């Protein structure tokens, strides 16, 4: 099984790096899919802002997972109904407006988007998924007209080579398009994602479309997707803020004619989701450190997740990392607020390969830890069992505060 994701950006000039890389086809890498991305003025930058991905079959199987936020955007409410029968013909996505808390007008806009796509594709609107991303509370007649026009333009531009265009069209504050392709034994998985802020469990603030030409039933697709997101997107906790528009969709064309080994396909899908989660982490708004928190020897996986998340959401810890300070005391203070089974006075904490805390007491000098690289590793050994989990987060920076204070201006 070979992996062909584009190189992940490592620094602030990621936009230039992204432009210099050969395009990964992403969602159009598997057979049976076409896509497009067009610009209709939803973004003030004039960049692409409406994308369509169409499954040409022969299978039209689909599965999706959605934000667990009770406050759900209109496209989420629509797509939850569409996906109920495990069938979808296409997905329409727009950036530049979340279409959330826009009243009945907003839901009608989503419905009309599905109807416009269905009419042009010759299918039923109940088989069209819809996604939106952007500023909450924005949406008017101009927004609706642009989305509907963009849907028509994108469908007219559909191509099996336009996966990269679709990936660029769903970007908001992202600095790079995020795509991944994995080739299995006679089948392929392709994917695209957007997300750079409000990254928290319940998926993270992101739109993800995954495609495969493997042969799967709706039940198999749903089970594989939930298993993969559980250990990837649901472990991404950049800023502790949960979005209203999160959706991860898996579309299955079956065009390869190959029924994959279940374990092999599940592992590949998890690899795709994890790779995208890491790309989302690496492009988080204003971040200067990508922090991987590995909790080991926990009494249960749930305990490991709870402990890791308590550190990922601790602003004192995140501020310390921004200041290149390996403050392990803040780690112990954070994990002490959890209900996990462990003795705080037996815990070891390691930063970037240097164990600074052993059995709840100082070990190596802090000066031995170099936190200047962007990649930062924290290992927490609870010494309470044999379970483990990894949480992905970022530091808390001046740039993050500035970008989010000026987001709607």
Q: What is the pLDDT of residues 217-233, one digit of tens each?
A: 999 999 999 999 999 99
| CATH class in words for 2-282 | alpha beta
CA distance 128 to 114: 5
Architecture of domain 290-405 in this structure: Roll (3.10)
CA distance 50 to 96: 9
Q: Which residues pair with 36 in a beta bridge?
A: 52
* Residue that is written with structure tokens 């994959």 in the block: 260
Q: What are the residue ranges spanned by the domains of the chain?
A: 2-282, 290-405
- The pLDDT value recorded for residue 197 is 53
Q: Out of 205, 274, 350, 393, which one is annotated catalytic?
A: 205
347 near 357, Cβ under 8 Å? yes
DSSP SS3 for 298: strand
Q: What is the pTM of this model?
A: 0.86
At 217-274, the pLDDT tens digits run 999 999 999 999 999 998 988 776 777 888 999 999 999 999 999 999 999 999 999 9
- The pLDDT value recorded for residue 69 is 85
DSSP characters for 309-364?
Answer: HHHHT-HHHHHHHHTT---HHHHHHHHTTS--S--GGG-EEEETTEEEEETTEE-S
Give the H/E segment covering residue 130: strand 128-133
CA distance 7 to 17: 9
| 263 contacts: CB under 8 Å, gap ≥ 6 | none
DSSP characters for 159-211?
Answer: BTT-HHHHHHHT-SS-SS-EEEEEE-SS-EEEEEEE-SSS--SSS-S-EEEEE
At 307-329, the pLDDT tens digits run 999 999 999 999 999 999 999 99
Residue 205 a catalytic site member? yes
pLDDT band at 408 (very low <50, low <70, confident <90, very high): low
């Amino acid at each position: 099984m070979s992996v062909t994701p584009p190189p992940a950006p490592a620094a602030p000039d990621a936009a230039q790096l992204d432009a210099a890389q050969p395009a990964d086809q992403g969602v159009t890498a598997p057979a049976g899919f076409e896509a497009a991305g067009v610009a209709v003025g939803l973004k003030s930058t004039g960049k692409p802002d409406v994308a369509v991905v169409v499954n040409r079959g022969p299978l039209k199987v689909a599965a999706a997972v959605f934000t667990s936020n009770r406050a759900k955007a209109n496209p989420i409410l629509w797509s939850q109904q569409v996906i109920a029968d495990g069938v979808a013909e296409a997905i329409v996505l727009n950036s530049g407006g979340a279409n959330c808390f826009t009243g009945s007008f907003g839901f009608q806009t989503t419905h009309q988007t599905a109807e416009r796509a269905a009419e042009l594709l010759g299918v039923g609107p109940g088989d069209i998924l819809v996604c939106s991303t952007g500023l909450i509370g924005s949406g008017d007649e101009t927004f609706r007209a642009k989305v509907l026009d963009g849907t028509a333009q994108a469908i007219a531009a559909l191509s099996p080579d336009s996966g990269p265009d679709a990936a660029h069209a769903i970007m908001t504050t992202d600095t790079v398009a995020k795509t991944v392709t994995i080739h299995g034994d006679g089948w392929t998985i392709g994917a695209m994602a957007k997300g750079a802020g409000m990254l928290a469990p319940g998926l993270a603030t992101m739109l993800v479309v995954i495609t495969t030409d493997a042969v799967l039933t709706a039940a198999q697709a749903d089970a594989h997707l939930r298993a993969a997101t559980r250990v990837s997107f649901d472990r991404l906790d950049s800023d502790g803020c949960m979005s209203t528009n999160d959706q991860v969709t898996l579309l299955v064309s079956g065009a390869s004619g190959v029924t994959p080994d279940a374990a092999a396909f599940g592992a590949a899908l998890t690899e795709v989701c994890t790779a995208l989660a890491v790309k989302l982490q690496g492009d988080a708004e204003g971040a200067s450190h990508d922090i991987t928190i590995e909790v080991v020897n926990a009494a249960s996986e749930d305990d490991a997740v709870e402990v890791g998340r308590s550190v990922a959401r601790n602003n004192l810890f995140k501020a310390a990392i921004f200041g290149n300070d390996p403050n392990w005391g803040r780690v112990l203070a954070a994990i002490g607020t959890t209900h996990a089974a462990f003795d705080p006075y037996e815990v070891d904490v390691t930063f970037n390969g240097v164990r600074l805390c052993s059995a709840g007491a100082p070990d190596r000098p802090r000066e031995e830890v170099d936190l200047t690289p962007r990649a930062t590793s924290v290992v927490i050994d609870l010494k309470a069992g044999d379970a483990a989990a990894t949480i992905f987060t970022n530091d808390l920076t001046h740039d993050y505060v500035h970008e989010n204070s000026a987001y709607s201006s």
